[in-house]
Amino acid sequence: MAHANLPRLQQIAVFDALINNADRKAGHILTANDGTIYGIDHGVTFNAEDKLRTVLWGWIGAAISTELLQDLANVETKIDGSELTVLLDADEMLALKDRLAQLLESKTMPSPSPHWPAVPWPVF
């Protein structure tokens, strides 16, 4: 899957890995007239099972930038007191914390799961 090597797209890819987005299609990435890139979605996220499906696999195994690692570290300091503890069940919260720890420890972009389709259908 080819896509532009833009910091904003990598930011969306890291966010998707963190929230376990199961449906990041090409049509869920919009570019405004001013060039701002937005990731939109309908909420197929925070699964306890590994269901990451995305069109943003261009960074598999690549280092996560220092800035994005700092963003993840900031999430780690705030996650327990966040509204997520009310919105997610215990398994979803545990899985979120595990994904966060894995991203911070590996400092690399994840690979697709061999147990789940890597790309959503339809792609757009």
Q: Considering the chain, what is the average pLDDT of its residues?
A: 93
Beta strands in 1-124 (DSSP E): 29-31, 37-39
For residue 74, give its domain range.
Answer: 7-106
Per-residue burial over 33-65, b = 16 or more CB atoms within 10 Å of its CB, e = otherwise: eeeeeebebeeebbbbebbbbbbbbbbeeeebe
- Number of structural domains (the chain) is 1
Q: What is the pTM of this model?
A: 0.92
Query: Residue 2 has what pLDDT?
Result: 58
Mean pLDDT of 45-49: 95
1 falls within a domain: no
54 falls within a domain: yes
35 falls within a domain: yes
Query: Residue 123 has what pLDDT?
Result: 79
Query: Residue 42 has what pLDDT?
Result: 73
Range list of H helices, 20-117: 66-78, 84-87, 90-106
83 falls within a domain: yes
Distance CA 43, CA 46 (A): 8
